[in-house]
Amino acid sequence: MTLPQRRIGLLFAAFLVLLTVGALRAVWLGVVRADDLEAAALSQQVDELEVPAPRGAIIDRNGTELAVSAPAVDVIANPYQVEEAVVLAGQLAPLLGRPEPEVLEDLTKEDTGFVYLARRLPAQRARDIGALAAAGLTITDTSRRVYPRDTLASQLLGGVGIDGEGLFGLEMAREEGLGGDDGQRRVVSDALGDPISVREEEVAQPGETVRLTIDAAIQGKVEDVLARVGERYSPKGATALVMRPQTGELLAMANWPRVDANDWEGAPDFARNNRALSSVYEPGSTFKAFTVAGALEAGAVEPGTMFDLPPSIQVADRVIEESHPRGAVTLSTTEILAQSSNVGTIKIGQELGAPRFDQWVRRFGFGAPTGVDLPGEEAGLVLDLDRYSGSSMGNLPIGQGVAVTPMQLASGYAAIANGGVLRPPHVVAAVDGEEVPTPRGERVISPRTAAQVRTMLKGVLAPGGTAPEAAIEGYPLAGKTGTANKIDEETGEYSQSRYVASFAGFAPADEPELLITVMVDEPRGAFYGAEVAAPAFQEIAAFALPYLKIPPR
């Protein structure tokens, strides 16, 4: 074989080896690694994006916006297509509000072609990010939750998470309707990462609009009043409720300290709670109205029944005195309630007897949730009858040894105010324009008994009562003060320095159209309900009555 022939043979063999290697490589890539490569190509060229539905608005009874969805953007990166990641991370970090090392880490991930750099950024930032014209970046439209009134009813409204789902409060309770139905978007990009096809595979359906019974003007006033209580008495917390007793509509549900609903992360944990539902406390003298109502309904006493009252009373091993020292007196049932006599109320409770007393406590809804259309409601604490001790009927009738929530107390007083019907409170008035039916109630006392108790409670704000300073000229009012010692967690005994001051009342007294309760937890400098809570009731009522066009009587 000649030299040229040998060279041609060697060249042919080399080409044959290269062809064989190429064929084997093609088989390897096309068969063995086909699925992996196809997935990688799709991850670089095709994105299946979820399109969050615009969240439904929450408005007050008059249409004032309390929670709305505002335009926003999600910023997405495809690390396979990102160029000069270090430079890009430095440019993006200040625009995204994130630390530069974290952004760089996301831009250089090796196991994915999709990573969120930011969720629900204000839409105005999209222009600055888009101006970078960086390969591998995608900006998609979405929405974010905004609370235009900042702190107004924030604990009631609650909040949403980064994925736009309600986490607590009304946002969580109405998640199914408010959230709407998310859509699906398919984005196909070219080799440079530029979208060449965007298709809405499923159109997002906006959430429902929820109209509340809350009145923003009254809510704002109540929050201002509680803020002044907080400034003056530096309590641990304070709560107030305003309700239409005939229907159970809540016109205001306020808590102090205030929290900005747009900045939940900046609020302390205890301030995030809706204390109207979650705060459980001993009601003290505000509970006496239910002891008297039960005794009247059971026929154990009449409004004019007279009682000879010593300065103190012994029940088993306990000696109970009045809140203010006095000598022996004779008072009627009406006067006992008006003057908030501990000794007199215990005697009324003894006339009623423990079994019937327990029944009436439960009939007024204590020891069970009220059924309000909000999450997180506590049931309170009511002692089972078989666990009563010899001294139980010395403390339970005066509101000690039983624990209630502000919502339960308001619900019970609403039953007295509306003629004897216990009705679940509610805050949702309509959904997408369709009215929500008023919850059905249950009669717990007769109209006659309810009227008798209302008349008795008028005496609390009259001369000789415990809160005459809370009266409002032109409006007959009824209500009850409460001052309760808190339990010292270390000793298990009643504290002599920590109290809950409260007031529950309604107006006008004879035909109530407005119910207001105020609870102040651990006020400092003063602690009596008449001094701390009753003035707050008066200030709220003085605003709400004319605002609601309820005429003087």
Last residue of a domain, one of 172, 188, 212: 212
- Can you say how many angstroms the Cα of residue 311 is from the centroid of all Cα atoms in its chain? 44
Instruction: State the SS3 of 5-40.
Output: HHHHHHHHHHHHHHHHHHHHHHHHHHHHCHHHHHHH
| Higher-scoring residue by pLDDT: 196, 105 | 105
How many CB atoms neighbour CB 63 within 10 A? 10
Active site residue 285: yes
Let me know whether 452 and 515 are in one domain. yes
Q: Supply the pLDDT for residue 37.
A: 47
Examine the domain organization and report whether 76 and 223 are in the same domain.
no
Cα dihedral 428→432→435→436 (10° resolution) = -40
| Peptide linkage before 148 cis (omega within 30 of 0) | no
Among 185, 212, 239, the domain boundary falls at 212
Share of the chain above pLDDT 90, in %: 58
Does a structural domain hold residue 455? yes
Within 148-238, residue ranges assigned H as helices are: 154-157, 169-173, 175-178, 216-233
Residues 294-352 have pLDDT tens digits of 999 999 999 999 999 999 999 988 898 887 888 899 999 999 998 999 999 999 999 99
Residue where a domain stops, chosen among 182, 212, 242? 212
Burial of 385 per CB tally in 10 Å (0-12, 13-18, 19+): middle
pLDDT (0 to 100) of residue 290: 97
| Per-residue model confidence (pLDDT) at position 220 | 97
Starting at the earlier edge strand, list the strands of the sheet with 249-256.
249-256, 237-244, 514-521, 494-507, 478-487
3-state SS assignment for residue 411: helix
Burial of 116 (0-12, 13-18, 19+ CB in 10 A): exposed
Alpha-carbon distances of 275 from 143, 221, 239, 264, 381, rounded to whole Å: 30, 18, 7, 16, 16
Over residues 376-401, mean pLDDT: 94
C-beta of residue 186 within 8 angstroms of C-beta of residue 115: no
Q: What is the pLDDT of residues 21-34, one digit of tens each?
A: 666 665 554 555 55
Report the predicted TM-score, pTM, of the whole model to 2 decimal places.
0.84
* Predicted pLDDT at 59: 97
Q: How far apart are CA 315 and CA 333, in angstroms?
A: 20
Output the domain CATH number for residue 101: 3.90.1310.10
- Residue 101 in domain: yes
Answer yes or no: are the C-beta atoms of 49 and 185 closer than 8 Å.
yes
Residue 199: pLDDT band with limits 50, 70, 90 = low
- Pair 200, 221 in one domain: no
Residue whose C-alpha is closest to residue 480's, from 520, 451, 453: 453
- Looking at the structure, do residues 208 and 227 belong to the same domain, yes or no? no
Whether residue 9 lies inside any domain: the answer is no
What's the pLDDT score for residue 44?
A: 52
What pLDDT sits at residue 24?
A: 61
Using CA atoms of 519, 521, 525, 527 in order, give the dihedral in degrees to the nearest 10: 50
Share of the chain residues as helix, strand and coil, in percent rounded to the nearest 5: 40, 25, 35
Annotate 361-410 with three-state secondary structure.
Answer: HHHCCCCCCCCCCCCCCCCCECCCHHHCCCCHHHHHHHCCCCEECHHHHH
For 517-550, write each residue's pLDDT tens digit.
999 999 999 999 999 999 999 999 999 999 999 9
Q: What is the CATH number of the domain that holds 260?
A: 3.40.710.10
| Structure confidence at residue 470 as a pLDDT band (50, 70, 90) | confident
Range with top average pLDDT, 25-39, 51-65, 133-147 = 51-65
Residue 391 lies in a domain: yes
pLDDT at residue 398 is higher than 70? yes
Q: What is the number of structural domains in the chain?
A: 2
Residue 180 maps to a domain? yes
Q: Report the Cα–Cα distance between both ends of the chain, in Å, rounded.
A: 130
CA distance 84 to 133: 13
**123 shares its domain with 226:** no
pLDDT (0 to 100) of residue 33: 57
Backbone angles phi, psi at 184, to 5 degrees: -130, 130
Same domain for 233 and 156: no
Residue 77 has pLDDT above 70, yes or no: yes
Q: Which of 69, 143, 285, 392 is catalytic?
A: 285
Its sign, for the CA torsion 495, 499, 500, 501, is positive
Q: Quickly state the pLDDT bin for 192 (edges 50, 70, 90).
A: low
Residue whose C-alpha is closest to residue 169's, from 188, 153, 152, 155: 155
Closest CA relative to residue 212, chosen from 48, 435, 488? 435
User: Hey, how many other C-beta atoms are within 10 angstroms of the C-beta on 97?
Assistant: 9
Give the mean pLDDT of 394-402: 95
In a domain, 553, yes or no: no
Quick check: 244 pLDDT over 50? yes
Pairing of strands 210-212, 58-59: parallel
The verdict on 248 and 380 lying in the same domain is yes
Residue 420 and residue 404: Cα distance in Å, rounded?
Answer: 19
The C-alpha atoms of residue 247 and residue 440 are separated, in whole angstroms, by 9
Residues 243 and 203 in one domain: no
**Residues 389, 22: Cα–Cα separation, whole Å:** 93
- Per-residue pLDDT tens for 271-289? 888 999 999 999 999 999 9
pLDDT at position 104, please?
80
For 486: left if phi > 0, alpha if psi spans -120 to 50, otherwise beta; the answer is: beta
- For residue 208, is it within any domain? yes
| pLDDT class of 125 with cuts at 50, 70, 90 | confident
228 and 206 in one domain? no
Q: What is the DSSP letter of 520?
A: E
State the CB neighbour count (10 A cutoff) for residue 386.
6
Instruction: Output DSSP code: residue 287.
Output: G
How far apart CA 406 and CA 173 sit, in angstroms, is: 20
Asked whether residue 35 is domain-assigned, the answer is no
Whether 411 and 354 share a structural domain: yes
C-alpha distance from residue 306 to each of 194, 324, 335, 336, 392 (Å): 89, 21, 9, 9, 23
Across residues 354-366, what is the average pLDDT? 96
- What are all long-range contacts of 9-15, with beta carbons under 8 Å and residues at least 24 apart? none
Does residue 198 sit in the same domain as residue 229?
A: no
Range(s) of the domain holding residue 94: 48-212
Confidence of residue 374 (pLDDT cuts 50, 70, 90): very high
Residues 193 and 319 in one domain: no
With a cut of 50, say whether residue 498 has pLDDT above it. Answer: yes
Query: Letter for the amino acid at 444?
Result: V
Determine how many CB atoms are found less than 10 A away from the CB of residue 383: 17
